[in-house]
Structure 1
Amino acid sequence: MQVEKSRDRRTMKCLVVLQICAAVVTMLLISTFYLTMYPSNKGKKHTPSTNIVPSNPIQKDNIAILYAIDPIGHSFCFRDGQYGEEITDWTVFNRCSDLDFNSYYAGNFTVGIEGGRVGTIIDLGSRGDLEKKYKYQETVGHGQGYASIHRTNKTLLILDNYQSHTFQAMDESAALFQDASSSTTVAAKLDHVYALRITDRYDGKFERIVKMLVIAYHPNESVTIRWEVLP
């Protein structure tokens, strides 16, 4: 009897130990689950959906700085948003120069400067000039006029009424879309809006139309532009 009681006690102790071990293992598994899975889910919870597409997509972050004395950064390519020249084998080569700053004429933008390309660039005036001329109402920040400029066939359009979201034709359209025969240059001015058009003598299908806004300007040093290619 004494032996059986002793054996029962040992059995009970073993069972208790096993239960304690099982509980500890279960707690460890639960802790590991929350430590590995919860932060991941929490991060996913606050991540914006990448499937949301705006109804009217626009180009973002199209800001470029052109430098007057930089061998690469004085020209710009609107095709890929990079500088127009490159250094290879210790030599400067042109690769795609749609726009030049300061090299041909001090303080000026020049277009139609490579190969068979010809171009026209027009100073549309300051944002205030455009507001007065076309009599639309601006909002805080004075960016509605620039943002609204787009094209339909051979006509540039600009804001007419902000509330009704209507647009009006720009008088400068005829000058922009006339046939060009050479390069064109115009002075760079702070807060001025520009429209430019580049075509090719040997490729009748090529056309690149861009609007620009000068957002910073340091004469003889650099100019910063916000730009957008108009389809």
Structure 2
Amino acid sequence: MKILLVEDDINLAEALVKSLHNEGYATNHVNNGSDALLSIKTQDCDMVVLDLGLPDIDGTEVLRNIRKQKNPIPILVLTARDTIEDKIQGLDFGADDYLPKPFEVKELFARLRVIERRLGTVNTSIIEVANVVLDIASHKITCDDEVIECSRKEFMVLKSLMENTGRIQSREQLEHNLYQWGEEVASNAVEVHIHHLRKKLPKNFIKTIRGVGYRVG
């Protein structure tokens, strides 16, 4: 899943991008409302984390503009405006959630998982297919109760496949969920991650659908 982070505090934004990436989210950062609206218009993100105190357009106007376009993209407001009136206004303008600053990053992750569940991309923090269990919250994979060690990107590939059990994921879809905006992608990166995962998982757990993509289940 790709997140658009709209935040003008550069230090906070850099820390959040790193934390979100480590948590398995591909993240793009913009520091103003105009760039945010442009990025959302190009449909190159799945979810928005939106600060309200932006330098060019107030975040509430960004929020209202998105909803006026009938765009249902999930939006989590992240802001120092923490009064009850501010929260009510943000939710009334179309925010899916409202998290005041300062905040614990673990709470942010928990709220993002709630939004993912609403989207239907994941029903719980535990995804189980056959004898393989993937725990999104703890970033742990087990097979027959034995822990499988894997890299962060391998985890992200397997997470995307298991969240879509029974449905084919193309290489392009996997890359979309795997890499940051502007991050250089090797032509065979997904194939390499799949190859490494197959060595660690049961035989035929990940199936290749020739010319289309990959599937589990």
| Fold shared, TM-score > 0.5 on shorter chain | no
Report which of the two has the higher share of strand: 1
Which TM-score band applies after superposition, normalised by the shorter structure?
A: under 0.3
Report which of the two has the higher share of helix: 2
TM-score, normalization by structure 2: 0.23
Larger C-alpha radius of gyration, 1 or 2? Answer: 1
TM-score, normalization by structure 1: 0.22
